[in-house]
A and B are shown apart, each in its own frame.
Chain A
Amino acid sequence: MMRTDARPGADLTEAHELAGALRHALNQVLRGKPEPVRLATVALLSGGHLLVDDVPGVGKTLLAKTIARAAGGSFRRVQATPDLLPSELTGVSIFHLAGNEWEFRPGPLFANVVLVDELNRATPRTQSALLEAMEEHQITVDGITRPLPDPFFLVATQNPFETAGTFPLVEGQLDRFTIVTEIGAPDAGTERELLLGAGGDAALNELEPVTDPVQLAAAIAAVRTTHCAPEVADYTVAIANATRANGNIAIGASPRASLALLHAAQAHAVLEGRTYVVPDDIARLAVPVLAHRLVLRDPGRLEEARALMHSVLQTVPIPRP
């Protein structure tokens, strides 16, 4: 698709169309799950990363594979196990005898969409190897920094109820996921349709990419130009402050967290066809963007953080100019 229109906002229009196409494709495969699909689309368009946190068998991997397929570009999948080494993610340099030189063999992180399945089964050492990749979109091996493809979108899954042989993600790493979502079991009707062949893997096999890495990168760049009124920024800050002031929360949302919330809200606005952020974008994304970053006084599961975040949100008034 050639860009023929240089009007400001034309980029946003294209981004909106692209986001809509992505969401539609995801909904085709992951039937009856509009909210996880919405959040996945937002995470992708905001230039962040997605962690799917749910029990096995509800379609975590399916969601990640569908995103990869719909987004086009290269896709790599890593199954995390306790013996997974960092270099198996990043790649290694191998000495080439014939050419008498070192040659870098890129690891699976060198792809547009990377699925890391059961991330919490990898060792902390391997998990932290992901840090640089997720934050900087680059990898340093043997002192040489190599950029990752653009766009770079990492989808990780984890099973919150699996405890044996797992290494819960450290806070710094959780902070690097823009959005953490669950999927949940489908309702009876959707499950029946699934059994009868609608959606699921069958739909995934028929799915054609709706975009390519170049367009997607342009869309992600365009999303950042979405207008944000000062009042909306104030509202975002107020929410972050409210988490810091809450007695049940040991460590509230960091500035990086509020920035991620704003970027996610921009993506959401574009998905909804707007060129500006409204408080509703912020409010709808506050829980999935912020909850997993909170450190509670009584450490508990993500469920509790979500509930707490939800109650914090009720205390922050919507801005009225």
Chain B
Amino acid sequence: MTDPQDIIELRIATCIAVVAAAIAALQEGAATGSLWIATTVGLPVACFIGYRVRATRPLPLRMLQSIIAILILVLFVSRIGHVTDLAALQIPLAQSFLWLLVLHALDMPNRRGLLVLLVASLVLMALAGVLSISMAIAPWLVIWAFAALVSLVLAYRAELEELPALGRAAPTFDRSSVLVPLGVLVVVLAVGFAVFMVVPVAGTNRAITFPAQLPNDSPVRSNGALVNPSLGPSDPGSSNGSSKSGATSFGYFGFSDRLDTSLRGRPDDTLVMRVRASSPDFWRGQTFDQWDGRVWHLSDDTPRLVRNGEPIGVPRVPLDGPTQTAVDVDDLTQTYYLEVNGPNSIFAASEARKVYFPERSIFQNVDGTLRAGVRLDAGAIYTVVSERPLVTAATLRAPRPDTLPLDIATTYAARPITTERVRDLAHTITANAPTTYDKVLAIEAWLAANTKYSLDIPRLPKGADAVDQYVFVDRRGFCEQIGTTLVVMLRELGIPARLGVGYAPGERNPFTGLYEVKASDAHAWAEVYFPGIGWQTFDPTANVPLAGDSQLDAAGSGALSYLSARLHIPTDVLAALPILAGLITLVLAVRQLRRRPRRVAISRSWASTRLARLERLGTRRGRPRAPSETTPNFVRALGSIAHQHATDLARAGATIDAAMFAPDPPTSDECDTVDALLDAIEAEWTTRGHPEDLVPSGRAPGTRSGR
């Protein structure tokens, strides 16, 4: 049989695995131009050279390798000189690692070298997985897994053939030899899934710097003006702001200087952005303060320039919440990865306090929301750290000094424009609600009981009041109607409120840990001011818990529903699978235990493969083992060929026999000794000519030390 290192297919499979893993890693941001060439061209070439010179291993090549390796190390050290935190090491480390891989591919004399390469590719794949924010690595993962599997099978073909189920050695089919690896596979899957479901979500708060990146830096027309290329011709920032159809694009027309509730656009399922955050929240773009009965306006659309350190600290504005909140606050870090060209609003959970943004300056609206001074196109990345009061129902109900800041009272609590019957309704609904929070809940409850949520609502008739039409005529509506009605009724009651627009959290992809926000997640909601606490978001349609009530989920939470939606398999069927797998595993384990301790079975297959290796060695030296020859006799014969190993060979034979026939398998140390001996003999007999010449002087052939 050919030795594994001589199989060209093995080399090719290993090479493919490494290249696939390297490309996956490069895709996720570890790339430089030279590395792309090194990976796609250098690795295969190096593998080929490594194959050609595997037997000779020319000295000049190995010296060159060493020199280049040292150079790579020096370069790496010089590059990390100014790096202050470990996370920033990731990329330079990966790049140096890739270069070293190319070097290593040049020198793979035997199976072990190939396996080192394979393990290295696993590391690269893991790196790609860590850096990844999407499923883009999936194809490479599949290619890598396939190539790695082929490579492993080829490398261990000889051992595999010793397995009773596969080998020609034992034609009798032994079911346990298939069940055992199958059981192991099931156990690995079940345990992996369980770990995935239990391990908590990785917080982003521990990192020191956050990703921020812009694909281009084309500035918007005027300072801080709102542009929204996703609206197409209806973009208020574009030259002809006349058309207001909106329905022609996937964008949400709420990201504009006005929100006309008579418009009926329906955003599609385009993926707008991915958000890395440890808990869901509303990703807010801006808020509206002025309501004219049909359209929301910004009373003051003159953003101010914010330009300070890095990260950019967001100053408090008069219309913002109180400087000292009455409840605890926590930081929610969100990293936004834009997938399409979007509005230049900088989304944030309220209230943003720090922004990691590639530009040194951003703009702040009077309500505290933020805009970029440049277009935010697909590929843009920025990170916002928001401060959230940890409110619960109890803290919102708690009585607070009824001192509204004057700015807030005049801007947000003025008597709204609406019809008399809406005003009456507002008072009727909330008559029995003692606190602001209860009033909000009462209105929400009334809307839930008396109106239907629907995206298909008739056009708003000319001259009609939007709230009146929704509450008394259509009795159907979506977030805009619900949010607007809440705001209007609360203002009627003297409670400061405003309309926020942005995105609902979106669906959390449990595999990447990122929220996937679609265009259809665009949303409008009511924000209510609580003295001593600040602005609180209320929305009966989106399921976002109060900040103080939200718990840290498991990393894999939602995995079942996520998979079930994509595979079209009911959740309970999916949930039954791991349970079923666990049961099968249990049954297999019990059966295995009853028949024979599994470690004995493992030790027997170990012994069988090692004996097979000895046999191959013997065959190579012209001393094949006869089928009727016992292990001690055979190793004695081998010992007379390799005199210096005679004693060790005898012990190896005894260990192999013990592994096969003893009630207790040999210790792993004993097994390691055998493996080391086999490796040593194999290396000797592969690289050099005649072991007879290697008998150390002063030791007669066949001498045994008294062990």
Instruction: Give chain B's interface residues, CB within 8 Å of chain A.
Output: 169-170, 604-605, 607-608, 611, 626-633, 657-658, 660-663
Indicate if the CB atoms of B611 and A314 lie closer than 8 Å: no
Tell which of B170, B607, B630 touches A318, judged by Cβ atoms closer than 8 Å: B630
Closest to A227 in B: B663
Contact B630 A280 (CB under 8 A): yes
Interface centre among A229, A314, A318 (most CB of B within 10 A): A318
Contact A321–B660 (Cβ < 8 Å)? yes
Dominant SS among interface residues on chain A? loop
Contact status B169-A320, CB under 8 Å: yes
Binds B, one of A25-33, A44-52, A271-279: A271-279
Q: Which chain A positions have C-beta within 8 A of B170?
A: 320
Query: Considering residues B608, B633, B658, B661, which has the most beta carbons from chain A within 10 angstroms of its beta carbon?
Result: B661
Residue of A nearest to B167 (CB): A320
Assuming the contacts A315-B628, A316-B628, A318-B630, asked whether A276 and B662 have C-beta atoms less than 8 A apart, the reply is yes
Set of chain A residues within 8 Å of B662, measured between Cβ atoms: 227, 229, 274-276
- Residues in A neighbouring B661, C-beta threshold 8 A: 227, 229, 231-232, 276-279
> Are B626 and A280 in touch, CB under 8 angstroms?
no
- Pair B629/A318 contact, Cβ less than 8 Å: yes
Which B residue sits closest to A229, measured CB to CB? Answer: B661
Beyond A227-B663, A276-B658, 6 extra complex contacts between A and B, CB < 8 Å: A274-B658, A276-B663, A277-B661, A283-B630, A284-B630, A314-B628
| Closest beta carbon of chain A to B487's beta carbon, Å | 78
How long is the Cα–Cα vector from A275 to B631 in the complex, in angstroms? Answer: 17
Q: CB-CB < 8 A to A280: which residues of B?
A: 630-633, 657
Beta-carbon contact of B663 and A278 below 8 Å:
no
Q: 0/1 per residue, A284-321, Cβ < 8 Å to B?
A: 10000000000000000000000000000111111011
Minimum Cβ distance to chain A for residue B138 (Å): 41
Residues in chain A near residue B626, CB distance under 8 A = 314
Binary contact readout A225-245 vs B (1 if CB under 8 angstroms, 0 otherwise): 001010110000000000000
When distances are taken between beta carbons in the complex, the residues of chain B under 8 Å from A320 are: 169-170, 608, 611, 660
B605 proximity list for chain A (CB < 8 A): 321
Q: Which of B169, B608, B611, B630 contacts A278 (CB 8 A)?
A: B630
Minimum distance in angstroms from B420 CB to a CB of chain A: 93
Closest residue of chain A to B657 (Cβ to Cβ) is A278
A-B contacts counted at CB < 8 A amount to: 61
Which residue of chain B is the closest to A269 with respect to CB atoms? B661
- 20 pairs, CB–CB < 8 Å, chain A vs chain B: A229-B662, A229-B663, A231-B661, A274-B658, A274-B662, A275-B662, A276-B661, A276-B663, A279-B657, A284-B630, A313-B628, A314-B626, A314-B628, A315-B628, A317-B627, A318-B630, A320-B170, A320-B611, A321-B604, A321-B607
Q: How far is the CA of A45 from the CA of B661 in the complex (A)?
A: 21
Q: Which residue of B lies closest to A239 (CB)?
A: B628
A274 partner residues in chain B, CB cutoff 8 A: 658, 662
Please give me the residue from chain A that is nearest to B608 by CB atom.
A320
| A318, B611: Cα distance in complex, Å | 12
CB distance from A283 to the nearest CB of B (A): 5
> A321 CA to B631 CA in the complex, in Å?
13
| Distance A71 CA – B454 CA, assembled complex (angstroms) | 102
CB A149 to nearest CB in B, in angstroms, measures: 33
- In the bound complex, residues from chain A placing their C-beta under 8 Å from that of B627 are 317-318
Q: Are B631 and A278 in contact (CB under 8 A)?
A: yes
Which chain A residues lie closer than 8 Å to B632 at the CB level? 278, 280
Cα of A278 to Cα of B666 in the assembled complex, Å? 14
CA of A278 to CA of B660 in the docked complex: distance in angstroms? 8
Specify which chain B residues have a CB less than 8 angstroms from the CB of A276 in the assembled complex.
658, 661-663
Which residues on A are within 8 Å of B, measured CB to CB? Answer: 227, 229, 231-232, 274-280, 283-284, 313-318, 320-321
CB-nearest residue of chain B to A279: B630
CB-CB nearest 6 A-B residue pairs: A317-B627, A280-B630, A321-B604, A229-B661, A278-B657, A276-B662
- Chain A residues with CB under 8 Å of B663's CB are 227, 229, 275-276
Q: What residues on A are CB-neighbors of B629 within 8 Å?
A: 318
| A231/B628 in contact, CB under 8 A | no
Tell which of B169, B604, B607, B662 has the most Cβ of chain A within 10 Å.
B662
Residues of B within 8 A of A277 (CB): 661
A7 CB, nearest partner CB in chain B, Å: 13
Across-interface contacts of B657 in A (CB, < 8 A) = 278-280
- Report whether A321 and B608 are in contact in the complex, using a CB–CB cutoff of 8 Å: yes
Q: Which residue of B lies closest to A318 (CB)?
A: B630
The distance from the CB of A241 to the nearest CB of chain B, in whole angstroms, is 14
Q: A251 CA to B632 CA in the complex, in Å? A: 31
Q: Which of A227, A275, A320 has the most CB of B within 10 A?
A: A320
Shortest distance between the CB of B180 and any CB in chain A (Å): 13
Complex Cα–Cα for A155 and B604 (A): 40
Closest-by-CB residue of A relative to B631 is A280
Q: Please tell me if the beta carbons of B604 and A318 are within 8 angstroms of each other in the complex.
A: no
User: How far does the alpha carbon of A279 sit from the alpha carbon of B661 in the complex, in Å?
Assistant: 9
Would you give the shortest CB distance from B651 to chain A, in whole angstroms?
13
Query: How far apart are the CA atoms of A189 and B631 in the complex, in Å?
Result: 32
Q: Which residues of chain A come closer than 8 Å to B658, judged between CB atoms? A: 274, 276, 278
**Contacts A275-B662, A280-B657; is A318 near B631 (CB within 8 Å)?**
yes
- Bound form: Cα–Cα A313–B630 in Å: 11
Name the one of A227, A232, A275, A317 contacting B628, with C-beta atoms under 8 angstroms.
A317
Q: How far is the CB of B513 from chain A (nearest CB, A)?
A: 46
CB-defined contacts of A231 to chain B, threshold 8 Å: 660-661
In the bound complex, how far is the Cα of B632 from the Cα of A87, in angstroms?
48
Q: What separation, in Å, do the CA atoms of A71 and B480 have in the docked complex?
A: 105
B contact residues around A315 at 8 Å (CB): 628
Q: Most chain-A Cβ atoms within 10 A of its Cβ — which of B604, B611, B628? A: B628
Write out the residue numbers on chain B whose beta carbons fall within 8 Å of the beta carbon of A313: 628
Closest to A312 in B: B628
Shortest C-beta distance, A224 to chain B (Å), equals 15
CB distance from A101 to the nearest CB of B (A): 54
Whose C-beta in chain A lies nearest to the C-beta of B162?
A: A320
Q: How far is the CB of A35 from chain B (nearest CB, A)?
A: 15
Please indicate the chain B residues that have their CB under 8 angstroms from the CB of A284 in the complex.
630
CA distance A148 to B626 in the complex (A): 46
A277 to B608, CA, bound (A): 17
Task: Report the Cα distance A279→B611, complex, angstroms.
Answer: 14
Residue from the list A227, A229, A275, A316 in contact with B660, Cβ < 8 A: A229
CB distance from B152 to the nearest CB of A (A): 23
Q: Tell me, rounded to whole Å, the shortest Cβ–Cβ distance linking B41 to chain A.
A: 47
**Chain A residues with CB under 8 A of B633:** 280, 283
Give complex CA distance A221, B504 in Å.
Answer: 81
Is B169 in contact with A318, judged by CB distance below 8 angstroms?
no
Q: Which residue of B lies closest to A282 (CB)?
A: B630
- The residues of B that contact A229 with a CB separation of less than 8 Å are 660-663
Closest CB of chain B to A310's CB: distance in Å?
Answer: 11
Min CB distance A13 to B, Å, is 14
In the complex, what residue of chain B is closest to A231 when comparing beta carbons?
B661
- Separation of A274 and B627 alpha carbons in the complex (Å): 24
Expressed in whole angstroms, the Cα–Cα distance for A232 and B627 within the complex equals 15
Q: How far is the CB of B618 from chain A (nearest CB, A)?
A: 14
CB-based contact A318/B628 at 8 Å: yes
> What residues on B are CB-neighbors of A232 within 8 Å?
661
Distance between A286 CB and nearest chain B CB, rounded to angstroms: 11
Complex Cα–Cα for A21 and B657 (A): 25
A residues less than 8 Å from B608 (CB atoms):
320-321
Please indicate the chain A residues that have their CB under 8 angstroms from the CB of B631 in the complex: 278-280, 318
- Name which residue of chain A comes closest to B601, CB basis: A321
A320 and B611 CA atoms in complex are apart in Å by 9
Tell me the bound Cα distance from A313 to B170 in angstroms.
20
In the bound complex, residues from chain A placing their C-beta under 8 Å from that of B630 are 278-280, 283-284, 318
Q: What is the minimal beta-carbon distance from A6 to any residue of chain B, in angstroms? A: 18
Cα distance, A284 to B170, chains bound together (Å): 25
CA distance A20 to B292 in the complex (A): 108
- Closest chain A residue to B630 by CB distance? A280
Q: Tell me the smallest distance from the CB of B530 to a CB of chain A, in Å.
A: 75
A321 CB to nearest chain B CB (Å): 4
Kindly report which residue of chain B lies nearest to residue A278, judged by CB atoms.
Answer: B657
Please name all residues of chain B whose beta carbon is closer than 8 Å to the beta carbon of A227 when the two chains form the complex: 661-663
